[in-house]
Amino acid sequence: MPRATCGISCLSLVLFAGSLVCVPVLPGLSSEAAAQHDAAEKTEIELLRDFNHFVTLGAYDVAEGIAGELLDRGLTDIEFVELVERTRERDRFPEAVAAAMRAPQLEALAAEMDRAYRNGKLARARMPDEVTRNINFLADGGMLARSLARARLLSAGEYAMPQLLEAYLAQGNPRLKAEVQKVIVEMGRQAIMPMAAALPSLDPARQEAVAELLGLIDYRSSLPFLTRLYQETEVESVREACAWSIGRLEGSPNMDVANLYYSLGEAYYDERSELTSFSGEKFQLLWEFEPTIGLIPTPILTEAYHEAMAMRMAEEALRLDPGVTEAVALWIASNYSREIDSPEGYANPAYPPERRDAEYFAVAAGTDISQRVLARGIDDGDTPLTRRAIAAIEMTAGGQSLWGPGQRRPLLEALSYPNRRVQYEAALALGAAQPVSGFEGSDRVVPLLASAVRDAAARYAIVLTGSDREEYDGRRRMLEGEGYIVLPPAERGLEDLRAAIAEAPGVDLIVTSLGADATRALIELVRSDNKLSVTPVLAMAPADELEYLSRLYRRDHSVMVRRTGIDSSMFVRATSDLIESASGGAISQDEAEAYADRAISALRDLAVSENRVLNVSDAAAPLIFVMGDQSGRVMLDIGEVLAHINQPRAQGALINRAFELSGDEQRAMLGLVGDSGKRHGNFLDDRQTRRLVELARSTDYALATSAAAVMGAMQLPNEDLLPIMFGEFEDRSARARRP
């Protein structure tokens, strides 16, 4: 807080911590502001004491300034905890901060102080020296000291495992070993992966001890490690310890170990709560074990952790049995997800920078694996993963490999996936593959390619506000300002919009402000709807429902919860962030043009090859529509496709567009009309024929020659040609210009 520098004009009596003191009142400042100015001169201990005191008195204006000053002092979380605990305010602070959080003007500051206090206690408990000190208390302290030490070690959790495991395996102190065992067992799932990392490298006596300890923790995630050790060890006592623990965890020593690793990898990929040690925290821990050092933890960002562990488990499965095909697919999917979820520039400790990117491994693994990854993406509604898998398939697929493993055909399913990017990319992949035999769903490919030419940049949104038409209009205006086409209001929800949803090529965003219960029911309905199941949902909620909905959907990247009263800029930013997270962002104009170019190229290739499975004629109507708005290369590329379509409307559209053009573009378009005539015959009507003959009589010799070539291609009757032959419509100046 900046300190005032103006002179003192008067004094005010203010109660500080139970005594009246003189506070200088600066010109224009209230006594509360003067007290805040005085706070800048105080020590942190005095500030903490005064904060507690003024909150107790209900003097929230004064407490607000003091809290701000205390937080501005830049204390670390651990320093903040030490500040609280080294004063007599230790017992008053929790009560004061809880009261402050109930006061609207103090809520944010108090929450920050409470967060610093809690995080500081946790960080301190995890410090190696503190862990060692608490372990010593387990053996040498009294009952109260042991109880406090046990609580602190449990609070430290997985971070305490290097010292706990060392103490457990040490010889000579049975009492300490028993106390440490109790802590590790009570720690539960957080103790499993550190011990699993150590298990293969220990000597037999310590392997036996750790195997027995794993069996006391009622989580089956230790089964792959115990079963592998049982099957590989030659020491009978170790086998017996493993068998006892496996039986206690309801497993069998003869289970397929590769499949156990694969199943555990799947559980990590699903990000199950029992495999997430520090839910809501920024980092998780990866574990290695060095016999001369002990357990070595490596922090990894939470968003990259589950993929790293899934890849580790898949690798172990494949080392044991290279034939576990699904483990390869799991590894590829996890690797893709690692790239998708990791922040840009993050140095992932589990994936060194010299290692090749995920796409390299995906295409090297072949189409069958990419199809399995695609199926996983479709089942999970994971749009970014689905798109990556389709890109890999497009590079490698052809023939029967288009269809995927078994009876399932994931690439065909992608044609109906409720995201237009996925639909377009699946259609492009199928078009590029040039299928030679028919398949169910083939009739959707060409219309999707045509839609990519025409509608790729269009964005559609649904706004559901119940009967609040004013809020609907406000949200609609904001979204239309961002380029969305907003479907009509619907008081009864999605039921009122069924026809509009069916007509739209896709719905890119749903915004709702219906209250917590109605929003939850709506999201369930959306996720069960074939056309909306992956559509991002922005749920607007009042302050008293915000935490409930945020907690409910904290792991769902396709749902974002925001406070109802946010301003327009925050609303627009929220929609952009949500769509970026859920589906890779809205289709930009540049991206739409790229989709259109790729689709036109695919349609042209299908047309030139006369593919009998994917009928380019199905694209005639949208291509005719789009060609009228285009010029240059894109227009001519579309024209080339239409020239291969055996329909009168296609030929008619080409010549009508030629009549509208001039110069090189007109002559090029006439050439395409001629190509259509040579392939399919003459579909021109009388009006078009007369216009063509007029062009053939043009004084522009190059244009006249192009038009005459079309006449020949259309095999017009002689009565149309004879007047030109006799020169009845050619003047002398035209002859003079003839080359």
Q: How far is CA 564 from the centre of its chain?
A: 24
Q: For the chain, how many helices (H) and strands (E)?
A: 37, 9
Tokens of 512: 């709702």
Determine the residue type at 130: E
CATH number 3.10.580.10 given to 459-585 = no
Short-list 205, 646, 305, 72, CA closest to 654:
646
pLDDT digits (tens, 9 = 90+) for 329-359: 999 999 999 999 999 999 999 999 999 999 9
Short-list 380, 410, 385, 372, CA closest to 270:
380
Spatial separation of the C-alpha atoms in residues 252 and 248, rounded to whole Å: 10
What is the residue whose two structure tokens read 């190509």?
675
Instruction: Report domain extents, the chain.
Output: 10-125, 459-585, 590-737
Per-residue DSSP letter, 282: S
- The CA R_g of the chain, rounded to the nearest whole Å, is 36
What is the residue whose two structure tokens read 């021109």?
684
Dump the DSSP string for 517-548.
HHHHHHHHHHHTSTTTTT--EEEEE-HHHHHH
Q: pTM score > 0.85 for this model?
A: no
User: What are residue 22's phi and psi, to 5 degrees?
Assistant: -85, 125
Give the model's pLDDT for residue 41.
Answer: 62
**Which residue stretches of the chain have pLDDT < 50?**
1-29, 31, 729-738
**Widest distance between CA atoms in the chain:** 123
Classify residue 330 by burial, with Cβ atoms within 10 Å: 0-12, 13-18, 19+: buried
Give the model's pLDDT for residue 325.
Answer: 94
Spatial separation of the C-alpha atoms in residues 333 and 385, rounded to whole Å: 7
Partnered with residue 155 across adjacent β-strands are none
pLDDT digits (tens, 9 = 90+) for 424-448: 999 999 998 888 888 888 888 998 9
Partnered with residue 461 across adjacent β-strands are 486, 509
Q: Which long-range contacts (CB under 8 A, 24 or more apart) does 622-629 make?
A: 622/447, 622/450, 622/451, 622/453, 622/454, 623/450, 623/453, 623/454, 624/649, 624/650, 624/653, 625/454, 626/453, 626/454, 627/653, 627/657, 628/653, 628/657
Give the model's pLDDT for residue 734.
Answer: 46
Spatial separation of the C-alpha atoms in residues 531 and 507, rounded to whole Å: 8
Classify residue 384 by burial, with Cβ atoms within 10 Å: 0-12, 13-18, 19+: buried
Spatial separation of the C-alpha atoms in residues 454 and 595, rounded to whole Å: 10
